[in-house]
Structures are given as C-alpha cells and as structure tokens.
Amino acid sequence: MIKAILFDLDNTLIDFMRMKKNSCEAAISAMIDAGLKINKEKAITALFKLYDKHGLEENKIFQKFLKEETGEVDYRILANAIVAYRGVRSSYMQPYPHTDYVLIKLKSKGIKLGIVTDAPKLKAWIRLMSMKIGNFFDVVVAYEDTKQLKPSSLPFEAALKKLKLKPEECLMVGDMPHRDVEGAKKLGIKTCFAKYGNQKIKESKADHEINDIKELLKIVN
C-alpha cells in the first residue's frame, strides 16, 4: 500500500526547462537592447553551453557569459539581463496542469507528500511557494540535506527517515530515469516515470509511466 509519494521538482511539478528557456531568451534580448553586440541565436546557444558546464542552478551565469563573450562584465548590461530574466521567470512559475487537483486528492486520501530534489533548498522552496503548492508537502529534501545528488541513495533515505516509512510504502515520481528511478530503486522504493516532463526518454525501467500527473490517482487506487 502506498502511504507516501515523493516527487522530483523540476520537470515533474514545474515545467522548468520551458521557464528557463523563455527567461534566458528575455535576458539575451535585454542585453542586446542595452548595447551588447551579438547575434541572439548565437548568444542563446553560448549561454546554454555555459549552463551545461556549470549547471542549471549557477547563480552567476550571466556574469560568466559576459566575461566569455566580451572579456568583461558591464553591470548596466548585466542588470538589464537579470531584471528581464526575473520578470519572465515569475510569469512561468506555474505547476503542470492538474497538479493542484492531484495533490489535493492525494492529501484527502491521507497520503503523505514529499520532494526529493537536487536543487538548493532555498530555490526549491521559492519555486514551491511561487507555485502556491508548498504547503502540500510534509518533507522537502534538497541538496544541502545530504550534499549528494541523485541517484545517490542518501537523499531518498533522508526522505524515508523524515516520513518514518519503509521503502515499499513509497512511490517516487520523476522525469530523469538515471537519477530518480535508479536512485529510488536502490532502496526498493516503487518508481514512476513522468513522461510529460522528459519525452526524449524511450525506456525508463520504472514500475509505472504517466503522460499526465492525473494518472497518479489511478496508480494509488
């Protein structure tokens, strides 16, 4: 019997890559409007190469971008980028369709809810509260809790300890099979692949696969 559901955060509850892409495009456009001499498409490609190198949570990505492209950081251009990025980001900080409905239904069944994410704790909580779903969750395990990234078993162990549940009583839902599914399976946690968040993956090896978060209710039932 499933007593708790653990969720990854980015691209499982929030369409993170859509938000990131649109926010970055706005930032590049703002830099160009502020005087940066660069082709927009070339700039976007270069920016995401830096994200690949430093990680999607890199706080100083625009500074690194300007340094690499121009050799220096023009703070007027940087400020324009940050303001534009934050403005668009807030408008895209929305959960996937049906998420609120599903979380309400799960809570009404007495099922505990948790987050297991590689994101820093403050950023995780900001995303949850921005989407107005933070209060649904009994536990949030973020990077600082174990200093380990999935598929390490430590973040999942931390969530189980906080929930005071056995692995077989939990279901992990995530969009990255090599992180979410593999990591949870190490401990015997049931797994569910969120195909809607990562349509490039053809084989997940998860116990369940869903195309819409609403399908979780069928799995629980």
pLDDT digits (tens, 9 = 90+) for 8-34: 999 999 999 999 999 999 999 999 999
Choosing from 56, 72, 92, the residue where a domain stops is 92
Q: How many domains does the chain have?
A: 2
Closest by CA to 4, choosing from 150, 124, 106, is 106
- Token pair 């629980």 is at which residue? 220
User: CATH code at 173?
Assistant: 3.40.50.1000
36 shares a domain with 51: yes
Tens digit of pLDDT for each residue in 145-161?
Answer: 999 999 999 999 999 99
132 shares a domain with 87: no
41 shares a domain with 56: yes
The pLDDT confidence band at residue 213, using thresholds 50, 70 and 90, is very high
Which pLDDT does position 36 carry in this prediction? Answer: 97
31 shares a domain with 83: yes
47 shares a domain with 8: no
CA 181-182-184 angle, 5° bins: 65
131 shares a domain with 210: yes
The whole-angstrom distance between residue 126's C-alpha and the CA centroid of its chain comes to 12
105 shares a domain with 213: yes
Count the neighbouring beta carbons within 10 Å of the beta carbon of residue 165. 18
Tens digit of pLDDT for each residue in 88-116?
Answer: 998 888 999 999 999 999 999 999 999 99
Host domain of residue 193: 4-15+95-220
Choosing from 51, 77, 92, the residue where a domain stops is 92
pLDDT at 202 over 90: no
144 shares a domain with 46: no
